Structure 1
Amino acid sequence: MDSAAFLKRVAEALDHNGELTRGQAFEDIETWDSLGMLSIMALLEELGADVDTDAIAALRTTDDLIAMAGPAVHD
């Protein structure tokens, strides 16, 4: 899956109105909360990525999340 498709899935998982972009800070996304983090963990598990709750909580940008998704996401 390319990064644009992945970010679309992330926006859906977060129930975010609008598009997410590469490099966007999670602190600027109002639905980035504990429930949103759980949704992202489920998405990453679906993609076969290793999920660590501390690592999810430490994410700062959408680029960090793309890197965490590993080979499941490419450009």
Structure 2
Amino acid sequence: THDLRELCQLCASFQAGYLELEDDCDFLTQFATPSGFPSFERATQEDAEQALDTLQGILELGQSQKQSQGPTMTM
């Protein structure tokens, strides 16, 4: 899926902190390219900076989750 809110909600089933990122995920989803090819619409510098800041927060939450739980494997 290219809907990051949906992925965020799935992650929230493991770590409730992801629910706080739903609005950020909505912001990032607008830049998704479902066809796999970029559109001709360009993001502004402000959009790019906000996207990078948002991504940093998501990555930090993911890393904290990984460190607190340790490696897991499910089948």
Into which bin does the TM-score normalised by the smaller protein fall? 0.3 to 0.5
Higher relative contact order (CA 8 A, sep 6+): 1
Give the structure with higher Rg (CA). Answer: 2
Q: State the TM-score, normalized to the length of structure 1.
A: 0.33
Q: State the TM-score, normalized to the length of structure 2.
A: 0.33
Higher helix share: 2
